[in-house]
Amino acid sequence: MCASNAVVIPHITPFDVEEDINTGDSVQLNCHVSKGDKPLKITWNFHGEELSSHMGITTTKIGDRSSILTITSVMAAHSGNYTCMAQNAAGTASYTAMVHVNGTHTANFLHGLSFHRDNIQS
């Protein structure tokens, strides 16, 4: 048996969000995929919907393994779950962090890490 065709599922390094976020602050989330074979597709979701650059939010790919989500001026509407998803031929990994803007009624922090292995055909 030859293991050279094995593909490694992505692994996202857990990231945190500052606890004290106020309206007008800047927030940056850094998603780094420390393991996993290339090519990698890295995307961001907000409450389950794929994010592009809107609502004052930008996403920037840094090299092959990182993506940065930046909110230049936080508003109450930015409170919620932000999920980084990394996908390759082996499967998908995701990590979710909660952004809580002071003065909103959302739970303070929620972190979650999940993996999904896709069917691999030889």
pLDDT at 47: 86
Domain assignment present for residue 46? The answer is yes
pLDDT at 119 exceeding the cut of 50: no
d(C-alpha 27, C-alpha 41), whole Å: 23
CA angle 114-119-122, nearest 5°? 135
Kindly state the DSSP code that residue 47 receives in the 8-state scheme: T
Contact, 56 vs 75, CB < 8 A?
yes
Which domain range does residue 64 map to?
A: 8-116
What percentage of the chain exceeds 90 in pLDDT?
A: 66
Domain assignment present for residue 2? The answer is no
Residue 109 — very low, low, confident or very high, per pLDDT cuts 50/70/90?
very low
Q: What is the pLDDT of residues 75-103, one digit of tens each?
A: 999 999 999 999 999 999 999 999 999 97
pLDDT at 107 exceeding the cut of 50: no
pTM summary value = 0.80
DSSP per residue, 82-117: EEEEEEETTEEEEEEEEE-BTTS-S-S--EEEEEEE
Domain assignment present for residue 3? The answer is no
pLDDT at 103: 78
Contact, 57 vs 29, CB < 8 A?
no
Report the 10 Å Cβ neighbour count for 23: 13
Q: Give me the mean pLDDT over the 23-30 stretch.
A: 95
Query: In total, how many domains does the chain have?
Result: 1
Report the CATH number that the domain containing residue 77 is assigned in CATH: 2.60.40.10
d(C-alpha 83, C-alpha 80), whole Å: 10
